[in-house]
């Protein structure tokens, strides 16, 4: 049975409920390998397995073929995340990029992002990725403070991350993102200001600044449960405001709660998520959403490869969304952006809306509602209150 027949059988069994004319314009690919496991990380990740990684790449390409038999895929954005995609060898990454071209037409791709390890970007790997069409690198620096990097269990030092940044810049990528984190155990506002100063001096095109969250099933969560680590909402608010003030003063546009960009460097891929666009997620644990269906692949790279290479579906969970659920998600995600939400989306939430406006958390700008700087600190609570 070929892949198209398999897809048709799946449809006939009622396993899928997707409009035949769905056009997929955004692809995410999850590569779960990491040289070291960070103690705060809740993503599906695992140590590199050199014996299995070629087979794993085979499976990713096979899964893309399976989707291409079902959907029209005309990607505008591709995002290789993880894990650490650059944990794959240069040859493996080159092969993935090359074979993508053979499975789907990539002429409309405007942004191709790869997350890179801040500790081990080689000039050879950077040049190969650029030559193969990658346009954007996201570098997981997190902090320029070696003491905090140690607490985070990161593999790299600040010096190594800086060397990686310069290698990527020299390779000529049109856009570079630096990921940073605040609210870390033992981090002071002065530490955070130094990290922001250093980042601004390097002038990346995009900066993501995330607040540490204590996720279940992580070592940090267990340490928080014993009282060793404590989250502090008022300190987090100060870190957030410090970032907002310093980055805006340096010319970065705060275009989403955790994201800042120089003009023209906003992430097209992430914007598509926030606007509720359909996307396909390939690889173990990856989510996909097409129309009103959401599904997640099995979060185990061996089981994933076994299933896909046997011609079976790697899907572990499916969820049928309703229009109302999807709309609620769109409101919550759009509110986090500087575009805000169209006024008609909040037509039903009159009293709560007026209350947030009176509290100075929300404001109307022509036909849209956007969060005020104070509202940005409470984006998730405002979104919940409006719905
Ligand atoms: S490198 Fe990233 S994905 Fe890997 S363990 Fe650390 S935080 Fe998680």
Arch. (CATH architecture) of 3-274: Alpha-Beta Horseshoe (3.80)
pTM: 0.92
Atom of ligand 1 nearest to the CA of 117: 1
Q: For residue 217, is it left (φ>0), alpha (ψ between -120 and 50) or beta?
A: left
CB 80, CB 50: distance < 8 Å = no
- Ligand 1 centroid vs 286 CA: distance in angstroms? 15
- Ligand 1 centroid vs 41 CA: distance in angstroms? 6
Atom of ligand 1 nearest to the CA of 42: 8
CA-nearest residue for atom 2, ligand 1, is: 83
Over residues 336-364, mean pLDDT: 92
- Ligand 1 centroid vs 346 CA: distance in angstroms? 37
Q: Which residues line ligand 1 (CB under 6 A)?
A: 34, 37-38, 41, 43, 45, 82-84, 140
298: closest CA among 279, 280, 311, 317?
317
**If you search the block for the tokens 């097209």, which residue do you land on?**
268
Per DSSP bridges, beta strands 136-142 and 175-182 are parallel
Over residues 193-222, mean pLDDT: 97
pLDDT at 348: 84
Calculate the average pLDDT of the chain: 92
CA-nearest residue for atom 3, ligand 1, is: 83
Does residue 14 have a pLDDT over 80? no
pLDDT at 20: 54
- State the pLDDT confidence band at 1, using cuts at 50, 70 and 90: very low
Over residues 71-92, mean pLDDT: 95
CB 116, CB 164: distance < 8 Å = yes
Atom of ligand 1 nearest to the CA of 34: 4
pLDDT per residue as tens digits for the range 269-287:
999 999 999 999 999 999 9
**Which secondary structure element, helix H or strand E, spans residue 289, and what is its range?**
strand 287-290
Atom of ligand 1 nearest to the CA of 36: 5
Give domain limits for the chain.
3-274, 339-387
- Ligand 1 centroid vs 86 CA: distance in angstroms? 12
């Amino acid at each position: 049975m070929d892949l198209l027949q398999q897809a048709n059988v799946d449809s006939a069994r009622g396993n899928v409920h997707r409009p035949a004319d769905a056009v997929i314009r955004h692809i995410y690919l999850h590569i779960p390998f990491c040289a070291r496991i960070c103690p705060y990380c809740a993503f599906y990740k695992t140590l590199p397995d050199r014996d299995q990684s070629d087979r794993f790449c085979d499976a990713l390409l096979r899964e893309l073929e399976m989707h291409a038999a079902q959907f029209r895929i005309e990607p505008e954005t591709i995002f290789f995340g993880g894990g650490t995609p650059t944990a794959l060898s240069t040859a493996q990454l080159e092969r993935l990029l090359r074979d993508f071209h053979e499975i789907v037409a990539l002429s409309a791709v405007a942004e191709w992002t790869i997350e890179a390890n801040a500790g081990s970007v080689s000039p050879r790997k950077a040049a190969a990725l650029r030559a193969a069409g990658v346009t954007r690198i996201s570098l997981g620096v997190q902090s320029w403070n070696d003491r905090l990097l140690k607490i985070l269990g990161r593999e790299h030092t600040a010096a190594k991350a800086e060397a990686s940044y310069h290698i990527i810049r020299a390779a000529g990528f049109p856009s570079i993102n630096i990921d940073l984190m605040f609210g870390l155990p033992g981090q002071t506002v002065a530490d955070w200001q130094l990290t922001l100063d250093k980042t601004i001096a390097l002038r990346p095109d995009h900066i993501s600044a995330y607040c540490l969250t204590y996720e279940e099933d992580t070592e940090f969560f267990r340490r928080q449960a014993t009282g060793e680590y404590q989250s502090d909402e008022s300190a987090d608010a100060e870190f957030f405001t410090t970032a907002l003030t310093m980055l805006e003063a340096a010319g970065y546009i705060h275009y989403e709660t955790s994201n800042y960009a120089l003009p023209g460097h906003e992430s097209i891929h992430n914007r598509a998520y926030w606007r509720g666009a359909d996307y396909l997620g390939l690889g173990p644990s990856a989510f996909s959403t097409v129309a009103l269906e959401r599904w997640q692949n099995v979060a185990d790279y061996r089981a994933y490869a076994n299933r896909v290479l046997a011609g079976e579906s790697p899907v572990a969970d499916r969820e049928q969304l309703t229009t109302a659920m999807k709309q609620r998600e769109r409101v919550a995600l759009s509110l986090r952006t500087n575009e805000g939400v169209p006024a008609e989306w909040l037509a039903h939430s009159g009293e709560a809306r007026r209350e947030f406006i009176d509290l100075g958390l929300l404001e109307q700008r022509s036909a849209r509602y956007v969060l005020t700087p104070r509202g940005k600190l409470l984006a998730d609570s405002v979104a919940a209150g409006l719905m």
